[in-house]
Structure 1
Amino acid sequence: MPRQIFQLKMSLASIRPPVWRRVLVPAGYTLDRLHRVVQHAMGWRDCHLHSFEIDAVQYGEPDPDGELGLHDELDARLDAVLGKGSRFSYTYDFGDWWEHDLVVEDALTVDPEERYPVCLAGERACPPEGIGGPLGYRALLVAMDDQAAPADLADPRLALLRDWAGASFDPSRFDPDRATTLLRRFC
């Protein structure tokens, strides 16, 4: 049987305007490798814990104390737990609680001329690490909005958010070619 590639769409939940990516990954990848794909495609720095939820089963790095009750992501191949049309979630940073909605949009045959994984498309930059989750990110977008009310821009908390994100942060920017380079280098 020819090897399969899954076309996945990943989107940050509770974020408007949407932050999303569309990637092609080998169906034989484990969830551990998919974790790295999500990290590099989205733009995270892999500084925090994470987990997947597929059909009400939690996967991640096993907790040595057994308190989290996670199945080992190294033991779960994508093609064993997912198929075309599957919907599942990935949570990153249990403090800021970044939820990602993922869907297997298609199952394709490997193109022998292509290298995988590859990022096909996406929109908007990933929020900065440690910004405070979706609520903190919304506040950052207000702080960066040129159309914000002067009273909002004078709020010292918003100035701190702008400083935290850095002058080079552009929430509208995303480069799928750069994401592909990172995916191929680290996944």
Structure 2
Amino acid sequence: MAKNVRLLKPEPDLLLLHIELKWVEPTIWRRIAVPENITLGTLHTVIQFAMGWEGGHMHEFEIAGENYGIPDSDGWGPRVNSETRQTLIKALYGKKTFSYLYDFGDGWDHRIEVEKKLPAGACPQVPYCVDGANACPPEDIGDAPGYAEFLEAIADPDHPEHDNMVEWHGDSFDPTVFEWERANERLKDIKV
């Protein structure tokens, strides 16, 4: 008599990604571990949560010469392949670096490098933010020069835009702070 044996699918290996926001000083970066079979749509959410973005703008991946994102049903916007079913490991085609653009108006360009492969279970949760540095710019601040102007204004109480920037942002802002625990709390909500 044969028993019903259910074979468990092995957990996928993890990819350790180094994400750096380009054109910004001080350098803003995160190191995250994700399953190699994560969809690009889910990876977008992971990047949003790890960096500290709010997710209210369009985005696009450029990986191995292909663009992925959410195609515009009305035909506006850039032509992209759908990110919903495409996995990171398949999109990479053996490449180690790719880019992620968030907010087409402000143009927050991220460089992402696959640093190494880790065994499944190497992290206390998946996805997991291993490390990082510096605060993410506030949404809708403009581009990198707009962020630099914001930092200058909030740092100098005598700056003509100081009060406006503090009121607009709503509270204090320290560009050197990265809240690692908060990033991982947010990442716990993502099912991969």
Which TM-score applies when normalising by structure 2?
0.86
- CA contact 1:28–1:77 (8 Å) conserved in 2: yes
Deviation, structure 1 residue 172: 1.3
Structure having the higher helix fraction is: 1
Deviations 1:129-153 (A, max 9, x none): 011121110001111335xxx8xx3
Specify the alignment match of 2:72 in structure 1: 63
Deviations 1:112-136 (A, max 9, x none): 7732011011011111001112111
Distance of aligned partners of 1:127 and 1:112 in 2 relative to their CA distance in 1, 3 Å threshold = closer
Deviation, structure 1 residue 17: 0.7
- Residue aligned with 1:28, SS: coil
- Residue aligned with 1:23, SS: strand
1:72-111 to structure 2, matched below 5 A, reads 72-82=82-92, 86-111=96-121
- Paired with 1:166 and 1:55, the residues of 2 have a C-alpha distance of 40
Identity %: 39
- CA contact 1:119–1:176 (8 Å) conserved in 2: yes
Pairing partner for 1:178 from 162, 176, 182 = 182
* Deviating more after overlay: 61-70 vs 10-19: 61-70
List 4+ stretches of structure 1 deviating above 4 A: none
Q: How many residue pairs align between the two structures?
A: 181
- For structure 2, list consecutive stretches of 5 or more residues without a partner in the other structure: 1-9
Which TM-score applies when normalising by structure 1?
0.88
- For structure 1, list consecutive stretches of 5 or more residues without a partner in the other structure: none
Bigger Rg over Cα: 2
- Paired with 1:154 and 1:27, the residues of 2 have a C-alpha distance of 47
Distance of aligned partners of 1:25 and 1:51 in 2 relative to their CA distance in 1, 3 Å threshold = same
